[in-house]
Amino acid sequence: MKTPTKLFCGFVLGWLIYMFLMAATVYDGVPSLIFQPLIAAVFSGFFVAAALVVGLVLRAPKIREAWSSAGRWVLLITVAALSVMIFSAQLGLETEYVDPDTSDDVKAISPTAALICYFLAVFPIVNLPGKKKPNDWLQA
């Protein structure tokens, strides 16, 4: 898969995760319907760019060889990150928040766990290893 396709797929996955989590936790009326997709695009774009920059480490010869030999199995990182997000309550990764409008206690995934899982869900998509070719080490 070419890099632009990987970036697009990572962006779409990040956007969908953000929108699903926002729809499940926050709804502030019509402004929310207008601004949340835009904020999701900015947030997803930032994390795709971060995954691309951190993925530069994978270009080191020994690391690249190990990453490439894993093949499509690296997608299990995405599955694991999504699973942690889904089962955060059972894993004890929740934090209590106070709703400013109702003063009710609300439980949600902790921000640290959410950001780490979000990054780990997008990272393997953006840096998906390609098929190994002869002289692959010459190509960046």
- 45: helix, strand or coil: helix
Stronger pLDDT, 77 or 22, i.e. the higher one: 77
Percentage, residues of the chain above pLDDT 70: 91
Domain membership of residue 73 (yes or no) is yes
Domain membership of residue 136 (yes or no) is no
Cβ proximity of 95 and 108 under 8 Å = yes
Kindly provide the residue ranges of all beta strands, DSSP E only, lying in 2-89, ordered along the sequence.
none
Model pLDDT, residue 106 = 81
140 pLDDT band (50/70/90 cuts)?
A: very low
Domain membership of residue 21 (yes or no) is yes
24 pLDDT band (50/70/90 cuts)?
A: confident
Candidate from 9-18, 108-117, 118-127 with smallest mean pLDDT: 108-117
- Non-local (6+) Cβ contacts of 130 within 8 A are 1, 68, 136
Domain membership of residue 57 (yes or no) is yes
Q: Which domain holds residue 20?
A: 3-129
Structure tokens at 98: 């106070």
Q: Is 50 exceeded by the pLDDT of residue 84?
A: yes
- C-beta contacts of 23-31 below 8 A and 24+ residues apart: 25/106, 25/108
pTM confidence score: 0.82
Instruction: Quote the number of domains for the chain.
Output: 1
In terms of Cα–Cα distance, which of 73, 74, 88, 89 is closest to 123?
A: 74
Domain membership of residue 139 (yes or no) is no
Mean pLDDT of the chain: 87
In terms of Cα–Cα distance, which of 13, 65, 66 is closest to 40?
A: 13
Domain membership of residue 93 (yes or no) is yes
